[in-house]
């Protein structure tokens, strides 16, 4: 299925004529807290002139994190986020993109990951763990580029393996054969590379008759497999859904005390976009000795960490504040020890913010899986 981009009629395809310019999108946009980025205005301008003009003039289209707050709240069910993706694809097609993005896209085509690291290094995180191959189990653990390559996130993947083993779950991995899911690539506007990645991945996953289920580390991979891979045969789950049900059925017991005050930051791609709010909380509720407090802005109101939509590779200049800073300061006010996350990007951006707010030693950012690993005997 080729996603062809037709410049003239994407306005109708996205239903832009139905926009009543109510502004709910702009007012909910996390970027709008920081910059003059105005998605409502952009939708109106795209309707009235050509995408090319808008795309080349508005450098701020690279600021969008594709959190989808706009699309989820639009009362006319238009998708303003898709307008951004379409505008970006105009620029990608013309090669008119910031150098960081160019590097990312090049890395994808050479190494099948956005981190500019050789694909043969993709198995480093699991050295010494004796993992099964993908052909050997019904469950495939899809690690993802960031947990595979980033040293901080590798700890999360290792914790995941510990938990799988403790619950005696048989699972396989693709090892160095694993290829980027394409989520952020599509959101950066390179819909052509995304098509290629999707085709490759679908072929790989469907090619294994034994694979019935895929569990991902990242909500980004989960979201794209679940909602943007129509030909995929195995079912897809995010690890929070999988482990929540393991805990409920008693297959995984969190035994050791972990006496900390924990709060949970809902990731946009898990929460807002897929309405998965309770499973992560269920896991944390079973952490012995811990106390849990909610952010005021929880669930669908969670404040985007600014990690999605390619923002892991793009900096915004002249910005007075970062949303991640607001988030960790709110956590500090609540007196929490741990901010629990369920997404690699949230982990990296929030940890960064802890450091830049001098809260190191006072607040820790941990993936839910790392917390779980601490409670296993």
Partner 1 sequence: MPAKKIGVYICHCGVNIAATVAIDELKRFAEGLPHVKSAQNYMYVCSEPGQELIRKDIREKGLNRIVVAACSPRMHEPTFRAVLKSADINPYCLEIANIREQCSWVHHDKQTATDKAKGLLAAAVAKAALLEPLEEREVGVTPTALVIGGGIAGIQAALDIADNGFKVYLVEKDASIGGHMMQLDKTFPTLDCSACILTPKMADVKNHPNIELLAYSEVVDVKGFVGNFKVTVKKKPRYVLESICNACGQCAQYCPIVIDDAFNERLAKTRALHIPFPQAIPAKYVIDPEACRYLRDKSCRQCEQVCKELQAINLDQKEELVELDIGTIVVATGFDVFDARQKPELGYGKYENVITGLEFERLVSASGPNQGEIKIHGKKPRDVVFVQCVGSRDKTVGNEYCSRVCCMYTAKHAHLVREKIPDATITVFYIDVRAFGKGFEQFYDRVKGERVYYRRGNVSEIYRRGERLVVRAEDTLEGRAMEVEADLVVLAVGMVPNKGAKELAKLLKLSNSPDNFFLEAHPKLRPVDTGSEGVFLAGCCQGPKDIPDTVAQASASAAKAVIPLSQGKVKTETMVSVVQAEACRGCGFCVEACPYAAISLEEKKVRGKKKLVATVNEVLCKSCGACAAACLSGAIQQKSFTDEQILSVIAAIGKDY
The verdict on 117 binding partner 1 (CB under 8 A) reads no
Point out which span in 117-125, 278-286, 291-299, 307-315 binds partner 1 (CB under 8 A).
291-299
Whose Cβ is closer to partner 1: residue 110's or residue 319's? 319
Q: C-beta of 20: minimal distance to partner 1 in Å?
A: 6
Q: 291 - beta bridge partners? A: 261
Q: C-beta of 12: minimal distance to partner 1 in Å?
A: 17
The verdict on 301 binding partner 1 (CB under 8 A) reads yes
By CB under 8 A, the count of residues binding partner 1 is 28
Q: Tell me which residues in 40-79 interact with partner 1 (CB under 8 A).
A: 40-41, 69, 72-77
Among 7, 13, 22, 235, binds partner 1 (CB under 8 A): 22
The verdict on 14 binding partner 1 (CB under 8 A) reads no
Whose Cβ is closer to partner 1: residue 110's or residue 301's? 301
The CA R_g of the chain, rounded to the nearest whole Å, is: 20
Q: C-beta of 326: minimal distance to partner 1 in Å?
A: 11
Q: What's the rounded Cα separation, in Å, for the pair 79 and 243? A: 32
Whose Cβ is closer to partner 1: residue 72's or residue 201's? 72
The verdict on 38 binding partner 1 (CB under 8 A) reads yes
**242, 216 in Cβ contact below 8 A?**
no
Q: C-beta of 220: minimal distance to partner 1 in Å?
A: 23
Q: What's the rounded Cα separation, in Å, for the pair 53 and 299? A: 37
Q: What SS3 state is found at 235?
A: strand
Whose Cβ is closer to partner 1: residue 25's or residue 54's? 25
Report the interhelical angle of 191-207 vs 99-111 (nearest 10°). 30
Whose Cβ is closer to partner 1: residue 69's or residue 218's? 69
Alpha helices in the chain (DSSP H): 10-13, 24-28, 39-48, 51-57, 69-73, 80-94, 99-111, 145-149, 151-166, 183-187, 191-207, 219-228, 239-248, 278-285, 323-334, 344-356, 368-375
Point out which span in 133-141, 143-151, 162-170, 298-306 binds partner 1 (CB under 8 A).
298-306
Point out which span in 25-33, 170-178, 309-317, 341-349 binds partner 1 (CB under 8 A).
25-33
The verdict on 32 binding partner 1 (CB under 8 A) reads yes
Q: What SS3 state is found at 338?
A: strand
Point out which span in 83-91, 155-163, 225-233, 292-300 binds partner 1 (CB under 8 A).
292-300
Q: C-beta of 34: minimal distance to partner 1 in Å?
A: 11
Among 20, 255, 293, 319, binds partner 1 (CB under 8 A): 20
Segment 234-237 long-range contacts (CB within 8 Å, at least 24 positions apart): 234/140, 234/205, 234/206, 237/213
Q: What SS3 state is found at 244?
A: helix
The verdict on 335 binding partner 1 (CB under 8 A) reads no
Q: What's the rounded Cα separation, in Å, for the pair 166 and 373? A: 9
The verdict on 293 binding partner 1 (CB under 8 A) reads no
Whose Cβ is closer to partner 1: residue 25's or residue 101's? 25
> Which tokens sit at 329?
């300061």
Whole-Å CA distances, 219 to 15, 269, 345: 27, 5, 10
Point out which span in 32-40, 82-90, 168-176, 188-196 binds partner 1 (CB under 8 A).
32-40
Segment 327-334 long-range contacts (CB within 8 Å, at least 24 positions apart): 327/265, 327/295, 327/303, 327/353, 328/353, 328/354, 328/357, 328/359, 328/363, 329/357, 330/295, 330/296, 330/297, 331/263, 331/295, 331/363, 332/357, 332/359, 332/362, 332/363, 334/261, 334/263, 334/293, 334/295
Q: C-beta of 21: minimal distance to partner 1 in Å?
A: 6
Q: C-beta of 24: minimal distance to partner 1 in Å?
A: 4
Q: C-beta of 25: minimal distance to partner 1 in Å?
A: 7
**43, 22 in Cβ contact below 8 A?**
no
- Binding residues (CB under 8 A) for partner 1: these are 20-29, 32-33, 36, 38, 40-41, 69, 72-77, 296-297, 299-301
């Amino acid at each position: 299925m080729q996603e062809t981009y037709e410049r003239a009629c994407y306005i109708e395809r996205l239903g832009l004529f139905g926009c009543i310019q109510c502004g709910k999108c702009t007012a909910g946009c996390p970027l709008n807290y920081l910059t003059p980025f105005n998605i409502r205005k952009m939708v109106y301008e795209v309707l009235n002139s050509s995408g090319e003009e808008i795309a080349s003039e508005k450098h701020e289209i690279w600021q969008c994190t594709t959190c989808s707050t706009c699309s989820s709240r639009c009362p006319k069910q238009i998708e303003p986020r898709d307008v951004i993706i379409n505008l970006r694809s105009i620029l990608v097609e013309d090669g008119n993109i910031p150098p960081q993005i160019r590097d990312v896209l090049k890395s994808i085509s050479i190494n099948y990951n956005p981190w500019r690291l050789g694909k043969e290094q993709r198995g480093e995180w699991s050295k010494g763990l004796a993992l099964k191959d993908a052909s050997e189990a019904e469950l495939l653990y899809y690690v993802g580029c960031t947990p595979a390559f980033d040293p901080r996130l590798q700890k999360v993947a290792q914790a995941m393996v510990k938990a799988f083993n403790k619950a005696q779950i048989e699972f396989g991995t693709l090892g160095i054969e694993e290829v980027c899911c394409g989520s952020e690539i599509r959101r950066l506007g390179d819909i052509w590379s995304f098509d290629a990645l999707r085709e490759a991945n679908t072929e790989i996953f469907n090619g294994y008759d034994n694979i019935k289920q895929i569990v991902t580390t990242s909500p980004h991979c989960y979201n794209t497999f679940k909602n943007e891979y129509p030909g995929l045969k195995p079912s897809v789950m995010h690890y929070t859904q999988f482990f929540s049900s393991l805990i409920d059925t008693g297959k995984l017991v969190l035994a050791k005390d972990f006496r900390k005050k924990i709060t949970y930051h809902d990731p946009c791609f898990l929460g807002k976009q897929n309405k998965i709010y309770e499973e992560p909380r269920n896991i944390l509720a079973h952490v012995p000795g811990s106390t849990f407090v909610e952010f005021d802005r929880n669930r669908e109101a969670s404040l985007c960490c600014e990690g999605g939509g390619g923002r892991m590779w793009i900096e915004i200049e002249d910005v007075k504040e970062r949303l991640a800073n607001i988030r960790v300061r709110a956590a500090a006010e609540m007196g929490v020890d741990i901010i629990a996350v369920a997404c690699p990007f949230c982990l990296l951006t929030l940890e960064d913010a802890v450091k830049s707010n001098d809260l190191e030693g006072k607040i820790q950012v941990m993936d839910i899986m790392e917390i779980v690993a601490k409670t296993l005997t």
